[in-house]
A and B are shown apart, each in its own frame.
Chain A
Amino acid sequence: MTAYTATVTVRLKRGVLDPEAETTRRALERLGFEVEALRSADRFEVDLEADSADDAYGRATEMAERLLANPTIHDYEVAVAEREDA
């Protein structure tokens, strides 16, 4: 078994309204920043032991499918890296 960190990034599908990001964008503009557009995303870092990077990827993907993302409104991506501090 090898130690991995799977990073799952969950973001709204293109075209789905993001009122929180819009509110954040307006607040940045109030602070004097020029912002064309702003998107927000959730990032989950999952530490896990797995037989291979593929195994870790598969498990993290299942986590995204079953809980971390809502397929109605979200897209997600998964990246896996070996954990050096393990």
Chain B
Amino acid sequence: MIGVLQFGGSNCDRDAVAALEHLGLDAGRIWYDDGLPADLDGVVIPGGFSYGDYLRAGAMAARAPVMERVRERAAEGLPVLGVCNGAQIAAEAGLVPGAFTTNRDARFHCEHVHLRVERADTPWTRAFDAGEVIRLPIAHGEGRFEADDDTLDRIERENRILFRYCDADGRVTEAANPNGSKAAVAGVLGADERTAVLMPHPERATLPELQGGTDGQGVLRGFARS
């Protein structure tokens, strides 16, 4: 089973389960305080507003004991995907580099964006070609990727940027960057390619009847091949 972690204030957990099940994957929600089952095939840290975004988005959930277990299992190779608040939590927990903080214009953005697939050789992007432009929805107020210059250099050098915000033609421009993320980072890999986070919502672009495209399927299929 793919476990979708549910914290108080998570609100994309059911959507994630529905999207994974649509792809024929076994998925279920796990309450953060119930511990991680031994036989998990993967973990989704879903979107929402865990702990009301108190202190900083993701700060409280990142320090919950279950995240220590997630860290251990990720180190053993368990696939872990953080989406939106899940990306903020994973960054706060140190599973991925950098931080996601207040959007450049201090506004909440709820819209579809284009993303350039920077690497197609990870579980999360194997469905795509490198350089391909996909379209996913975002819904966040704190999605601006922030990292110091040394960290940015390192993740560029280590090829850990998974998606960048771009225009419909794949050009990375200021105008196409919805939140002011450094290096237009929309998604980034952890210590190995089986840990990934992104601010856009693949689970909201998976069920065909929802409209707006199904490009999220390719991301979630990362769990199918593990």
Question: What is A's interface to B at a CB cutoff of 8 Å?
Answer: 13, 16-20, 22-23, 66-68, 70, 72-73
A72 CB → nearest B CB, Å:
4
A67-B148 contact, Cβ under 8 Å, with A19-B104, A72-B98, A73-B99? no
Q: Across the two chains, which residue of chain B brings its CB closest to A23? A: B106
For chain B, the bracket of interface size reads 20 to 34
Q: Which residues of B contact A66 (CB under 8 A)?
A: 63
B55 interfacial contact with A, CB 8 Å: yes
Mark interface residues in B155-182 (1 if CB within 8 Å of A CB, else 0): 0000000000000000000000000100
On whether the beta carbons of A72 and B148 are closer than 8 Å, the reply is yes
On whether the beta carbons of B99 and A70 are closer than 8 Å, the reply is yes
A43 CB → nearest B CB, Å:
13
Q: Which residues of A contact B146 (CB under 8 A)?
A: 16-17, 72-73
On whether the beta carbons of B144 and A17 are closer than 8 Å, the reply is yes
B89 CB → nearest A CB, Å:
12
Q: Which residues of B contact A19 (CB under 8 A)?
A: 102-106, 180
Q: Across the two chains, which residue of chain B brings its CB closest to A26? A: B106
On whether the beta carbons of B101 and A73 are closer than 8 Å, the reply is yes
Q: Across the two chains, which residue of chain A brings its CB closest to B141? A: A19
Most buried by B among A16, A67, A73: A73
B206 CB → nearest A CB, Å:
31
- Cα-based distance from A19 to B151 in the complex (angstroms): 22
- Cα-based distance from A4 to B98 in the complex (angstroms): 34
On whether the beta carbons of A70 and B59 are closer than 8 Å, the reply is yes
Q: A17-B144, A19-B102, A19-B104 are in contact. List 7 more A-B contacts (CB 8 A).
A: A20-B106, A66-B63, A70-B92, A70-B99, A72-B146, A72-B147, A72-B148
- Cα-based distance from A26 to B95 in the complex (angstroms): 36
A17-B151 contact, Cβ under 8 Å, with A70-B56, A70-B59? no
Q: Which residues of B contact A18 (CB under 8 A)?
A: 102
- Cα-based distance from A73 to B175 in the complex (angstroms): 24
On whether the beta carbons of B63 and A67 are closer than 8 Å, the reply is yes
Q: Across the two chains, which residue of chain B brings its CB closest to A70? A: B99
- Cα-based distance from A84 to B102 in the complex (angstroms): 38
- Cα-based distance from A55 to B103 in the complex (angstroms): 38
- Cα-based distance from A51 to B105 in the complex (angstroms): 46
Q: Across the two chains, which residue of chain B brings its CB closest to A69? A: B56
